[in-house]
Amino acid sequence: MTFPGAYRVACGDREVSVAEDEALLRWARANGFSPRQAQLRALDEGVMPLRYLKNLWALSFEEQRKVCASSVLVCGCGGLGGGLAHLLARAGVGRLRLVDPDVFSPSNLNRQWLSTVEGLGEPKATEAARLLRSVNPLTETEPVGEKLEEGRLDDLLEGMDLVLDGLDNLEARFVLARGAARAGLPFVHAAVAGWWGQIRTFLPGGPSGLESVYGRRRSRDSAEDASGALGPAVSAISSLQALEAARILTGRPPAYAERLFYFDGETGAGEFLPS
């Protein structure tokens, strides 16, 4: 069948059948499907949602479908997590489960993509889900406005394909890392302080855990708190995390598996550090 509302456009040296958001949403309403299911049905029919056209041919048609079929847990909706969630929604991730117990405050405005003056005082997870629905109504957003705790984590990981660390404290990071390992899910860690940031991916059954990065430390170093957090540095690391997520979700080799990448925003240099 031809998906209702589809039409053909040029994409590079090829033509592609596309459908706009309104056609997909209209089809979903008429047939009792969710917007996420509508975009998957279109892709199954060989129709690319028009909003993802510029992903081709950096991603293949099948890789885009994998992204749209995926479910990702984003823990933290602030600097790292907010940038991550925003980029993944635009990329077409089908379902985003967003975990954060905090509310937006004025000091978030320098770097947190999902913070706005109008949203100050609002719960981060709820506000993030609302804003992301306006960015991409085809992506399901599920806000969870509670503290990350060991006893609840297995439920949060249920049905997920990937776990992304957008947290700001070590205790919660270790809880998340243990849960991801227990669930057999890839876990992408990142952190930022001042001008610099780091990223490392831990794959299921891998030889090391988050201890390989932090050793016995379980609290944030006071020097990190004194460094602040520059918006461009936060955005650079969240973008690297989002690219790693895209690689993992499409089945490509991850770039940061079992090795720590360090980025120095002052010099613009990046390097892989010894494990």
Q: Compute the distance between CA of residue 242 and CA of residue 201 in angstroms, rounded to an integer.
A: 12
CATH of the domain at 251: 3.40.50.720
Q: Compute the distance between CA of residue 72 and CA of residue 85 in angstroms, rounded to an integer.
A: 9
- Do 49 and 160 fall within a single domain? no
**Is the pLDDT confidence value at 275 over 90?**
no
- Do 94 and 144 fall within a single domain? yes
- Do 43 and 91 fall within a single domain? no
Rounded to the nearest 10 degrees, the angle between the axes of helix 231-250 and helix 61-69 is 110
Tokens 């056609």 locate to 23
Domain contains 136: yes
Q: How many residues does the chain have?
A: 275
Rounded to the nearest 10 degrees, the angle between the axes of helix 150-157 and helix 170-183 is 50
- Do 117 and 37 fall within a single domain? no
Domain contains 226: yes
Which residue segment(s) compose the domain that 42 sits in? 7-65
The answer to whether 157 and 73 have CB atoms below 8 angstroms apart is yes
- Do 79 and 60 fall within a single domain? no
Domain contains 1: no
> What's the pLDDT score for residue 223?
61
- Do 88 and 222 fall within a single domain? yes
Domain contains 105: yes
Provide the edge-to-edge strand list for the sheet that holds 95-99: 140-144, 95-99, 71-75, 162-165, 187-193, 196-202, 260-264, 269-273
Domain contains 198: yes
3-class state of residue 54 by DSSP: helix
Q: Which residues contact 2 (CB under 8 A, 6 or more apart)?
A: 17, 45
- Do 49 and 119 fall within a single domain? no
Domain contains 89: yes
Q: How far is C-alpha 149 from the chain's CA centre?
A: 20
Give the count of domains, the chain. Answer: 2
Q: Which of 15, 40, 65 is the last residue of a domain?
A: 65
Both tokens of 202, joined, read 């831990």
- Do 11 and 88 fall within a single domain? no
- Do 79 and 59 fall within a single domain? no
Q: Which of 16, 31, 65 is the last residue of a domain?
A: 65
- Do 148 and 254 fall within a single domain? yes
- Write out pLDDT tens, residues 140-191: 999 999 999 999 999 999 999 999 999 999 999 999 999 999 999 999 999 9
Domain contains 156: yes
Domain contains 2: no
- Write out pLDDT tens, residues 191-229: 999 999 999 999 999 999 999 999 988 666 666 666 789
- Do 52 and 114 fall within a single domain? no
Q: Compute the distance between CA of residue 241 and CA of residue 20 in angstroms, rounded to an integer.
A: 28
- Do 243 and 130 fall within a single domain? yes
> What's the pLDDT score for residue 221?
67
